[in-house]
Structure 1
């Protein structure tokens, strides 16, 4: 699966998680430690480059983008905003907030990676994530992903808890 390993940390009190990009092993290539443009050779577990980019250094200057996850009164499940767009090499602090009643997750990847992850979640709905490009949050929790975007192209973000994607919880992510 084309997802990177991450560590979820409790930060500044209960209900906050952070994707810090820490890895438990070497991947064979690294991005810039200063949080600049990631090396396009950054490797995931399968030994393939992750075109979406790489975790950024906590010291990197970053624009903050807040993404809210929630359910609507008519039963839909949504992200606000419903689409995301970033420049190649841009470092962004994604602040993810679960303002819904249910547990939700935020996963960003290639469309194929999202589909693969969705199939895995159908088989193992309680699967806990430890990827730098994903967060799973209980109702009322928030977390952060600090990311430097890579290759230009069309990507996606989604909640892959069974039924949530089908309930509308997905959107396009563009790197330009």
Structure 2
């Protein structure tokens, strides 16, 4: 009973600053949210892979995004201990950690965090609506104090980033390189008509990392690409 009460208290605290003026759903994040709001998978502008280790470190621990971006975090636990990634302000994370120390059996499952078992992978999809600094940390007892922390610096953008409005068409190309660690793919391609881009060899980000499992270097493919902000993103790959 005590754990349930404490869970309610800390959840309310964590999201009170992010609720803004919206009251249309429980724990909701309004447009004035301090750390942003849950994102939609179809609006993801890039994917960032983060490794969590038993050295109590995130790799990478310093990230930079642009205001308005929707980021898909693929969070991998390479250790033998359970770890988590929680987004928040430093004040919120510190307060939450103090509660976790007193109630180590407490479980939480908010949209700004993911708990990952050893050898497993989890995800957070998050839209960064406000410029500034956002922290993330593992709040399991002992991990936060050991330095398992990181930061996301959100640079200011005049307008929110939206996916390209032009319909993405299939373009022929040949896979030159696959970089699964960074969710990137190098393609020698013909003209990409919806982007008004001539044929060349370039590096794209990949919206869904699973697309990289469909191809290998040397494959002839047809693919779709969009521009979102300053990023060129492959949204679909079809091996020939």
TM over 0.5: yes
1:79 counterpart residue number: 58
User: 1:152 and 1:90 mapped to 2: Cα distance?
Assistant: 11
2:134 equivalent to 1:168: no
Higher helix share: 2
**RMSD between superposed Cα atoms in Å:** 2.0
Asked if 2 retains the 8 angstrom alpha-carbon contact of 1:128 and 1:136, the reply is: no
Q: 1:121 aligns with which of 86, 95, 100?
A: 100
| Residues 49-105 of structure 1, C-alpha deviations (whole Å, 9 max, x = no match) | x3111111122133000011002xxxx311000212211100100000111110001
List alignment gaps of at least 5 residues for structure 2: 1-12, 17-23, 156-240
Q: Which has the higher contact order (CA 8 A, sep 6+)?
A: 1
Partner of 2:96, secondary structure, is helix
2:31 equivalent to 1:40: yes
Superposition deviation, residue 29 in structure 1: 6.6
Distance 1:3 1:130, change over 3 A: farther
User: 1:109 and 1:28 mapped to 2: Cα distance?
Assistant: 14
Partner of 1:59, secondary structure, is helix
User: 1:29 and 1:169 mapped to 2: Cα distance?
Assistant: 27
Asked if 2 retains the 8 angstrom alpha-carbon contact of 1:3 and 1:133, the reply is: no
1:26 counterpart residue number: 25
Asked if 1 retains the 8 angstrom alpha-carbon contact of 2:62 and 2:151, the reply is: yes
Asked if 1 retains the 8 angstrom alpha-carbon contact of 2:37 and 2:129, the reply is: yes
Partner of 2:14, secondary structure, is coil
2:43 counterpart residue number: 60
Asked if 2 retains the 8 angstrom alpha-carbon contact of 1:82 and 1:171, the reply is: yes
Asked if 1 retains the 8 angstrom alpha-carbon contact of 2:85 and 2:137, the reply is: yes
Partner of 1:2, secondary structure, is helix
- Structure with bigger gyration radius: 2
Q: How many residues align?
A: 136
Superposition deviation, residue 3 in structure 1: 3.8
User: 1:61 and 1:109 mapped to 2: Cα distance?
Assistant: 20
